[in-house]
Amino acid sequence: MFKDFKLIAGRPVYIQVKDYLKHLILKGALQGGQKLPSTRELSTLLKVSRNSIISAYAGLTDDGFAYTVQGQGSYVSLAASTESAAAPSWTVDWKERMNSRALLAEELDIMKRGIRAEKGTISFTSIAPDESLFDLDNVKRAFLDRMSVEGNVLLNYGYAKGYKPLIDYLRQYMEHKGVDMRGKDMLITNGFTEGFDLVLSALGQKHGRVLCENPTHHTAIKNMRLNGFDITGVTMERDGIHLGELKRALEEREYDCAYFVPSYHNPTGIVMSPEKRQGLMKLMAEYRVPVIEDGFNEELRYSGSHVAPLIAAAGGGNSVVYLGSFSKVLFPGLRVGWVLADQELIYYLESVKRARSIHTSTLDQSILYQYLLGGHLEKYLKRARTEYKRKYELTLECCKEYLPYVGLSGDGGLHLFVTFPEGFSTRELLDACRERGVIFTAGDIFFTNGTGQNTLRLGFSRVADGDIRRGIEIIGRAARQLLG
Amino acid sequence: MFKDFKLIAGRPVYIQVKDYLKHLILKGALQGGQKLPSTRELSTLLKVSRNSIISAYAGLTDDGFAYTVQGQGSYVSLAASTESAAAPSWTVDWKERMNSRALLAEELDIMKRGIRAEKGTISFTSIAPDESLFDLDNVKRAFLDRMSVEGNVLLNYGYAKGYKPLIDYLRQYMEHKGVDMRGKDMLITNGFTEGFDLVLSALGQKHGRVLCENPTHHTAIKNMRLNGFDITGVTMERDGIHLGELKRALEEREYDCAYFVPSYHNPTGIVMSPEKRQGLMKLMAEYRVPVIEDGFNEELRYSGSHVAPLIAAAGGGNSVVYLGSFSKVLFPGLRVGWVLADQELIYYLESVKRARSIHTSTLDQSILYQYLLGGHLEKYLKRARTEYKRKYELTLECCKEYLPYVGLSGDGGLHLFVTFPEGFSTRELLDACRERGVIFTAGDIFFTNGTGQNTLRLGFSRVADGDIRRGIEIIGRAARQLLG
């Protein structure tokens, strides 16, 4: 006994001794009532200081695994080792006990259907930001600043609605996008995804149908389906959704809500034109369908004028629910997003949020707040836009040079969307490219109606310049071969 | 114009100028196409450096709110101010569009039904930890240590299952509670609440019924109801659930699952005896009902032997789903909890979690990991237990001295539970006490069957010693008056 004890760095020695003894007690090597070695003895056996052994025994006693007899030494508690007299165990078939929603969540979980890439593969699958752009020092400083102002508050319970200073900051931020804030309120969420899921899960389903662009964000498709909605997708044109088709869809059926991504639409990268935004909002008002707006990557504009979000175009109306997040722009690890909407809706969403997860991490919120207040977003965006713009232009150039596409879109953001001739299969292309060390996202997962087999998405944010060129050249060569 | 500009501290001046100008543009005080004042002129008007004005104009241009004409100056973008030509706005009645679950979430939201306490009120309503015990320096150090090791990784996307080092740490932690880890897996969640909600939302409802202790955790009652379960509560005895009544309930009907709080049960504060745990698990095995175990405050044991959780008593079986969290013990602001369960169940829960919120804050997880690794939990618990134990004993003593109770329970933890004679109303008592500057939690919210009007919960963790005595004396006096 005591021969397999090994120390690791970065953890107090006495706790490692305590953990080790617990382990021996639990596996029955030390029995209830058995006397533990003297502290001097164990110190020699484990080659650690006697003080560490003394502290370890005290810890064992605190945790109820040992007791001390004055003048005699420490003994293993009776209860600690006898509980292995376990109750009759039985086996649950958990899969069989899952409901249809849990099974569907697994089925639609593309992380579980993902392609495994060999090391060294050039991957265009990610649209997460490039980590090397992160300004860690300012994040550290933001944390330390906030902690010294109100560390105790940050570590205790916060509010379901969110961290007040952040809410106030974001309200002003949204006002500067032209939003009429009267009668509106805000809820902080664990990123866009939680916000979207909260809204969908609270909405009544009079018709059970939702309208959206086709293609659209695959996480959004997943959440609309998991919340039991039938999805009607409307074709995208070069400057956004096809208004004529949208009007026909609205004439044919009634919808509970619509979901749109007007800026840097995922996956097409299209920014809806201001005229189209007006037309869209007119139609939605005419047919009385509330809009859930995904403010995805609005900040990653590389050129052109400021384009107001739909919620600004709605003026004093309360029919648009805006979902915002800096995840894709700043730090995805900070799980912070927001829902800006009519105050009555937020009142109900607040209760749903509280029931689900009490509140969003206050540390994440306070770090983000302090970082924003200090003006670091502006500086970061300046650098990030320069970097991403260069990559964007390079990717665009390479696509034009190497790919036999019939359609190519992307007005900025972190990805481009490529359409090949009808009948072409980007799944086959992906198979061919993977063998040659290049992967991308086959576009079919973005389509609401089972089409899109001839499309793909190229995320360039995390690909080195040289790899962008090399990767797209390889895709192009493989595509030409498949086209014959 | 330019007269209402006011600087605040802690935010770069140029950004404040930029924000101010945006505000003027958006409200139409500066019109599209209008020339902005020269940088020199505006510098004088706003009393800030000319460099700040130059940077502000550059920022306005980056954001698409202005453009520059070489040699002439800066102009307001046409698009920026004309979009106020808003679409026809219309009004949604959001309450009418909420589904029954959202309405129920609001109805069961006790934060919205809470009692407003005047400043200076002695409040026994909270069972959150005492902030003055927080060791902020170790939290700061844990953050900085983790950031310097892998800051870039922490700020980018993490995994739905959780932060690997924390999972590994917690697996060992649970093993030291006597859990047979074979075939088990772990999912990190945003605290206990999200974990419980995820499990309930994934479970099939063959019978639509769940078993639990009566009374029990009111958040748990809320989430079971929101997930559509019918609740059967089983009476609590002094050493835990009434096994005879439990057996009768199991004989009468079938259940999809059971929810138990074996240690420091909320609200009664009772620790279920080891014998009762064995008896409970035998019954659950006999009737094939999976158990959701709430490991609430297991760490706040002030005396006696280590008591193994139910999941340890289940041995090699896979029928117990354990929900853990350090929120009440350490820092509630760090939204981190865990689900330890059969690996097949975790496989599905992972997909449900990903669909709902992608993943839990990596910063929260990594800070908690580093804090735990450094052995700070042990040190903190030593201090916290000493402090809470003193308060616990004081509260117990005061209850015995001042309250005309017929039942009093609480074996440790952060609260005691008081039962008054049949027919007594703690809501009336609360009204009387509030006038005298003392509040507590009326116990009826913890009951599954509309009873408990004669009970109350006293949370003492955040009440000063003097206030504990003074407060309970006031409650006692008011109670005797009501009793006549």
φ and ψ at residue B40, rounded to 5 degrees = -65, -45
* pLDDT surpasses 80 at B79: no
Which of A97, A243, A329, A364 is best to mutate for the B interface (most B CBs within 10 A)? A97
Q: Which residues of B touch A271 (CB under 8 A)?
A: none
Distance CA A392, CA A394 (A): 5
**Token pair for residue A329?**
């722009």
Calculate what percentage of chain B has a pLDDT beyond 90: 82
Distance CA A14, CA A39 (A): 12
Asked if the A13-82 domain carries CATH number 1.10.10.10, the reply is yes
Q: What is the DSSP letter of A11?
A: S
Strands A209-214, A455-459: parallel, antiparallel or unpaired by DSSP? unpaired
Mean pLDDT confidence for B77-89: 65
* Residues ≥6 apart with Cβ < 8 Å to B35: B72, B73, B74, B75
Write the pLDDT tens digit of every residue in A455-475: 999 999 999 999 999 999 999
**Token pair for residue B59?**
């920022």
Consecutive H or E run containing B64: none
**Contact at CB, B351 and A109, closer than 8 angstroms:** yes
* pLDDT surpasses 70 at A225: yes
Mean pLDDT confidence for A401-426: 96
Per the CB < 8 A criterion, the answer to whether B479 and B421 are in contact is no
DSSP string, A177-194: TT---TTEEEEEESHHHH
Higher pLDDT, A303 or B445: B445
Helix (H, G, I), strand (E, B) or coil at B355: helix
* pLDDT surpasses 70 at A182: yes
Residue A118 binned pLDDT confidence (cut-offs 50, 70, 90): confident
Residue B143 binned pLDDT confidence (cut-offs 50, 70, 90): very high
Q: In the CATH hierarchy, which fold is given to the domain comprising B114-132+379-483? A: Aspartate Aminotransferase, domain 1 (3.90.1150)
Residue B80 binned pLDDT confidence (cut-offs 50, 70, 90): low
Number of Cβ atoms within 10 Å of the Cβ of A305:
18
Q: Which residue bears the tokens 């097949």?
A: B344
Q: Which residues of A touch B461 (CB under 8 A)?
A: none
CA neighbor of B277 nearest in space, from A31, A85, A65:
A85
Judge if the upstream peptide bond of residue A262 is cis by omega within 30 degrees of 0.
no
Helix (H, G, I), strand (E, B) or coil at B132: helix
Mean pLDDT confidence for A163-170: 97
Distance CA A118, CA A435 (A): 10
Q: Chain A: give the shortest CA distance to residue B234, in Å.
A: 21
Mean pLDDT confidence for A399-419: 95
**Token pair for residue A41?**
């003895």
Mean pLDDT confidence for B165-192: 95
Q: Which residue bears the tokens 């930029």?
A: B18
User: Which range is least confidently modeled, B36-40, B226-230, B328-332, B455-459?
Assistant: B328-332
**Contact at CB, B355 and A12, closer than 8 angstroms:** no
Mean pLDDT confidence for A231-241: 97
φ and ψ at residue A418, rounded to 5 degrees = -115, 135
Distance CA A13, CA A359 (A): 36
The CA R_g of chain B, rounded to the nearest whole Å, is 28
Judge if the upstream peptide bond of residue B215 is cis by omega within 30 degrees of 0.
yes
Average pLDDT value for chain A: 93
DSSP string, A87-113: PPP----HHHHB-HHHHHHHHT-GGGS
* pLDDT surpasses 90 at B84: no
Angle at CA of residue A33, ends A30 and A36, nearest 5°: 55
Identify the CATH homologous superfamily for domain A112-129+379-483. Answer: Aspartate Aminotransferase, domain 1 (3.90.1150.10)
Distance CA A471, CA A467 (A): 5
**Token pair for residue A112?**
């579980």
Q: Which residues of B touch A97 (CB under 8 A)?
A: 203-204, 256, 290
Residue B86 pLDDT:
59
Mean pLDDT confidence for A361-367: 96
Residue B310 binned pLDDT confidence (cut-offs 50, 70, 90): very high
Q: Chain A: give the shortest CA distance to residue B352, in Å.
A: 6
**Contact at CB, B334 and A201, closer than 8 angstroms:** no
Nearest residue on chain A to B10, alpha-carbon basis: A374
* pLDDT surpasses 60 at B26: yes
Amino acid in the structure at residue A88 = P
Write the pLDDT tens digit of every residue in A185-199: 999 999 999 999 999
CA neighbor of B146 nearest in space, from A143, A373, A189, A146:
A143
**Contact at CB, B84 and A178, closer than 8 angstroms:** yes
* pLDDT surpasses 90 at B122: yes
- Residue in B77, B102, B317 nearest the CB of A90: B317
Q: In what order do the strands lie in the sheet with A407-409?
A: A407-409, A415-419, A455-459, A441-442
Mean pLDDT confidence for B383-389: 92
* pLDDT surpasses 80 at B117: no
Q: Chain B: give the shortest CA distance to residue A319, in Å.
A: 6
Q: Which residue bears the tokens 């975790």?
A: B346
CA neighbor of A429 nearest in space, from A450, A405, A446:
A405
Burial of B251 (0-12, 13-18, 19+ CB in 10 A): exposed
Residue A159 pLDDT:
94
In this predicted complex, what is the ipTM?
0.95
Burial of A408 (0-12, 13-18, 19+ CB in 10 A): middle
Q: Chain A: give the shortest CA distance to residue B425, in Å.
A: 28
Amino acid in the structure at residue A251 = E
Per the CB < 8 A criterion, the answer to whether A76 and A66 are in contact is yes
Residue B153 exposure: Cα atoms within 13 Å on the Cβ side: 11
- Residue in A86, A342, A375 nearest the CB of B315: A86
Task: Please give the sequence-ordered ranges of beta strands (E in DSSP) within B135-214, or none if there are none.
Answer: 184-189, 209-214
* pLDDT surpasses 70 at B85: no
Q: Which residue bears the tokens 């804050």?
A: B361
The top-level CATH class assigned to A134-374 is: alpha beta
| Domains A13-82 and A134-374 in one fold | no
Which of B27, B78, B98 is best to mutate for the A interface (most A CBs within 10 A)? B98
Q: What residues pair up with A186 in beta bridges, in sequence order?
A: A340
Higher pLDDT, B307 or A336: A336
Residue A290 binned pLDDT confidence (cut-offs 50, 70, 90): very high
Residue A92 exposure: Cα atoms within 13 Å on the Cβ side: 29
Size of interface A-B (CB pairs under 8 A): 409
Q: Which residue bears the tokens 């649950």?
A: A92
**Contact at CB, B89 and A315, closer than 8 angstroms:** yes
Residue A85 binned pLDDT confidence (cut-offs 50, 70, 90): low
- Residue in B63, B226, B313 nearest the CB of A87: B313
Nearest residue on chain B to A276, alpha-carbon basis: B87
Distance CA A388, CA A300 (A): 9
Q: What is the DSSP letter of B190?
A: S
Distance CA B440, CA B456 (A): 7
Residue A87 binned pLDDT confidence (cut-offs 50, 70, 90): low
* pLDDT surpasses 80 at A407: yes
Which of A177, A217, A223, A305 is best to mutate for the B interface (most B CBs within 10 A)? A305
List Cα–Cα distances, A94 to A317, B199, B286, B346, in angstroms.
47, 11, 18, 9
Per the CB < 8 A criterion, the answer to whether A246 and A220 are in contact is no
Burial A371-394 (b: 16+ CB within 10 A, else e): bbbbbbbbebbeebbeebeebbeb
* pLDDT surpasses 80 at B81: no
DSSP string, A426-474: HHHHHHHHHHTTEE-EEGGGG-SSS--TTEEEEE-TTS-HHHHHHHHHH
For chain A, give every domain's residue range. Answer: 13-82, 112-129+379-483, 134-374
CA neighbor of B182 nearest in space, from B94, B311, B59:
B311
**Contact at CB, A157 and B128, closer than 8 angstroms:** yes
List Cα–Cα distances, A268 to A193, A247, A291, A419, A446, in angstroms.
19, 21, 20, 10, 10
- Residue in A90, A307, A345 nearest the CB of B94: A345
Number of Cβ atoms within 10 Å of the Cβ of A77:
20
